[in-house]
């Protein structure tokens, strides 16, 4: 994590920026023009969001930077697992979908 080596270059930033814009415009167009069924639409825009998150990570936040054990990557992966657990778990549990006793 020292500052010696950087994947940051103007090229990376511009690429990242363009990709982000594209990945923002696509879901906007899809949603505002009602282009798909509800389920498909939901999946596509979530997918676009996740892709954009990845773009940010690689092109802006330089997740690949640094040497030695990648503790930041490990933290991030664990964090993502927990995030999914929190949101999906809450939705699943709060749907109260059958009789218990």
| Interaction site with another protein (CB under 8 A) | 1-3, 6, 8-10, 13, 16-17, 20-21, 24, 27-28, 31-32, 34, 38, 41-42, 45-46, 48-49, 52-53, 56-57, 60-61, 67-69, 71-72, 75-76, 78-80, 82-83, 85-87, 89-101
Residue 21 or residue 64: which is nearer to another protein going by CB?
A: 21
Of the candidates 65, 90, 77, 87, the one whose C-alpha atom is nearest the C-alpha of residue 3 is 65
Residue 45 CB, nearest approach to another protein (Å): 5
Residue 40 CB, nearest approach to another protein (Å): 11
Residue 79 CB, nearest approach to another protein (Å): 4
87: which residues sit within 8 A by CB, 6+ positions away? none
Burial class (CB in 10 A: 0-12, 13-18, 19+), 36: middle
- Contact (Cβ atoms closer than 8 angstroms) between residue 43 and residue 15: no
């Amino acid at each position: 994590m020292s500052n010696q080596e950087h994947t940051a270059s103007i090229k990376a930033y511009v690429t990242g920026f363009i990709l982000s814009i594209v990945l923002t415009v696509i879901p906007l167009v899809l949603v505002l023009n009602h282009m798909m069924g509800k389920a498909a639409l939901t999946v596509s825009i979530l997918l676009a969001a996740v892709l954009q998150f990845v773009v940010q990570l690689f092109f802006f936040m330089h997740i690949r930077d640094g040497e030695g054990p990648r503790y930041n990557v490990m933290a991030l992966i664990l964090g993502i697992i927990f995030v999914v657990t929190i949101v999906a778990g809450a939705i699943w549990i709060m749907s109260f979908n059958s009789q218990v006793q």
